[in-house]
C-alpha cells in the first residue's frame, strides 16, 4: 500500500511558542538568546529577524547589531518541550505512528491506512493543522507525500508558511527542478563535488546512471541517487521510539579554556543524554562531540561505544576520550555539543566474569538510584561533584 506521510513543521518554533505566550510579539522581529551574555549564540529568530541577516548560533551582539529593533527573549526549552508535547498529543488522535523531532516543531505523521476512519489523508492533514492553529495558536506548515524525504523537501520549499501535497507518482518530477541542497541527507562535501560537475539540481542527478554518479560521489552514490528520485523507505517511528540520535549541548556564558569547566559541562551533557537514553530504554553505540571555538572553527570527533551503553559512567569515560581528540586547539571554547548515535535497545545482559559483572552492576544500580531521585525531586536534586551547580 502506498504510504501517506504528513510532515508538520512549525517554522521558528521557539519564536512561535513565545508569540503564543506573548501576543505583543506578533509581526515584530524576535530573537531568542540568553540576554546576559553578549557572545551567547542565537537560539532561534523570527522570519523578520532572519530577513535582517540574523542566523542561528550567531553571537547575540552581532545579531542585535543587524536587527537592533528585535525583541529579545531568553530560551525556555521546557516551554518549547511542553508545546511540542501538546502538538504530539493532537497528532496522536490521527495516527499512532507519530515521530516528533526534539522540541523543534517538527512531526511526521503516518496516515497510511487511516482513510476509512478519517477520510482522505489530505483532509486529515488539514484538520490536524487546523487543530494546531485553533487549540495551540501555532500555524504549522503541512505537507503530504508518500515518504518522509519528499514531505520534508516540500516543507522546506514552502517555509515559512503554507502547505504542499505531492501526489503519489509525482515525487521525481516534483524534485527535478529543485536545488540539491534542499534534499535531506546530502552533505556539504557531496554538494561541492556535484557542483564541480555542474550538477546543482535533483533532476540532473536523477538522470545519471549509478556508475556515473559513483565517479562523482563514490560510495554515497546510491543514497544520493535515491534522494534525487524521491525514494525513501524510512518508516515513521512511533512517538517515544525515535531512535536516530540523542543529543545535548552546552554554551559557555564566556568563552573558556579551563579544563575543569569544560569537563564539568561535558559531564552535565552526558547525564542529560544518558537520562534520555535510559528513559527511552536505549543504549548508545557511539558518541560524537562538536567543540566550537571562539573564532568559529568547529572540531568534530566521534568514537564507537563498545559495548553499547546508557550508563553515565561509561558514557563519560568515552566522552572524555572524544574530547581529547576534538579539543586540540588553544583557542578558547564557546560551546560543546554531544550526540549519541547508533542507538540500540538497552540490553540487560551482564558480563560473564564476576569482577566485571560486579562493577557493571554497581554502576547500573547507582545510576538507577540517581534516576529515581531525580524523577522524584527534580533533575537538580542530585549531581556529581564535578558539576556542583551548573558548569558556567
Kindly list the residues in this chain that would bind other proteins in the complex (CB under 8 A): 1-2, 115-120, 122-123, 125-126, 146, 162-165, 167-170, 173-174, 177
- Specify the residue, 115 or 294, whose C-beta has the smaller distance to other proteins: 115
Smallest distance, other proteins to C-beta of residue 175, A: 11
Smallest distance, other proteins to C-beta of residue 7, A: 14
Smallest distance, other proteins to C-beta of residue 101, A: 23
Residue 12, CA distances (Å) to 140, 158, 164 in order:
10, 14, 19
Instruction: Give the C-alpha separation, 80 to 64, whole Å.
Output: 23
- Specify the residue, 197 or 231, whose C-beta has the smaller distance to other proteins: 231
- Specify the residue, 86 or 139, whose C-beta has the smaller distance to other proteins: 139
- Specify the residue, 114 or 309, whose C-beta has the smaller distance to other proteins: 114
Amino acid at each position: 500500500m502506498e504510504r501517506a506521510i504528513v510532515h508538520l513543521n512549525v517554522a521558528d518554533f521557539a519564536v512561535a511558542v513565545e508569540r503564543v505566550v506573548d501576543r505583543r510579539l506578533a509581526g515584530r522581529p524576535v530573537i531568542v538568546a540568553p540576554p546576559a551574555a553578549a557572545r551567547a549564540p542565537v537560539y532561534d529568530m523570527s522570519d523578520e529577524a532572519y530577513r535582517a541577516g540574523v542566523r542561528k548560533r550567531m553571537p547575540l551582539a552581532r545579531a542585535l547589531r543587524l536587527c537592533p529593533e528585535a525583541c529579545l527573549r531568553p530560551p525556555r526549552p521546557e516551554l518549547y518541550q511542553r508545546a511540542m508535547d501538546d502538538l504530539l498529543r493532537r497528532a496522536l488522535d490521527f495516527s499512532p505512528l507519530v515521530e516528533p523531532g526534539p522540541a523543534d516543531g517538527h512531526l511526521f505523521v503516518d496516515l497510511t491506512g487511516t482513510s476509512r476512519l478519517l477520510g482522505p489523508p489530505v483532509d486529515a492533514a488539514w484538520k490536524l493543522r487546523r487543530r494546531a492553529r485553533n487549540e495551540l495558536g501555532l500555524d504549522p506548515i503541512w505537507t503530504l507525500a508518500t515518504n518522509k524525504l519528499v514531505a520534508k523537501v516540500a516543507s522546506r520549499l514552502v517555509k515559512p508558511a503554507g502547505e504542499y501535497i505531492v501526489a503519489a507518482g509525482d515525487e521525481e518530477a516534483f524534485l527535478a527542478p529543485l536545488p540539491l541542497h534542499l534534499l535531506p541527507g546530502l552533505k556539504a562535501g557531496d554538494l561541492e563535488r556535484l557542483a564541480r560537475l555542474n550538477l546543482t539540481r535533483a533532476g540532473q542527478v536523477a538522470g545519471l546512471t549509478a556508475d556515473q554518479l559513483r565517479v562523482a560521489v563514490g560510495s554515497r552514490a546510491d543514497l544520493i541517487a535515491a534522494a534525487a528520485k524521491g525514494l525513501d523507505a524510512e518508516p515513521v517511528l512511533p512517538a517515544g521510539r525515535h531512535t536516530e540520535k540523542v543529543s545535548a549541548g552546552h554554551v559557555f556564558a564566556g568563552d573558556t579554556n579551563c579544563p575543569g569547566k569544560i569537563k564539568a559541562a561535558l559531564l552535565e551533557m552526558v547525564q542529560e543524554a544518558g537520562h534520555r537514553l535510559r528513559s527511552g530504554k536505549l543504549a548508545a553505540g557511539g558518541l560524537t562531540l562538536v567543540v566550537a571555538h571562539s573564532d568559529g572553527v568547529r572540531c568534530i570527533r566521534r568514537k564507537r561505544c563498545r559495548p553499547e551503553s546508557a550508563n553515565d559512567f561509561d558514557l563519560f569515560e568515552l566522552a572524555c576520550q572524544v574530547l581529547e581528540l576534538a579539543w586540540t586547539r588553544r583557542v578558547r571554547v564557546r560551546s560543546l555539543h554531544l550526540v549519541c548515535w547508533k542507538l540500540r535497545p538497552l540490553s540487560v545482559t551482564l558480563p560473564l566474569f564476576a569482577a566485571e559483572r560486579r562493577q557493571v552492576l554497581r554502576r547500573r544500580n547507582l545510576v538507577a538510584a540517581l534516576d529515581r531521585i531525580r524523577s522524584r525531586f527534580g533533575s537538580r536534586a542530585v549531581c556529581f561533584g564535578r558539576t556542583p551547580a551548573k558548569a558556567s
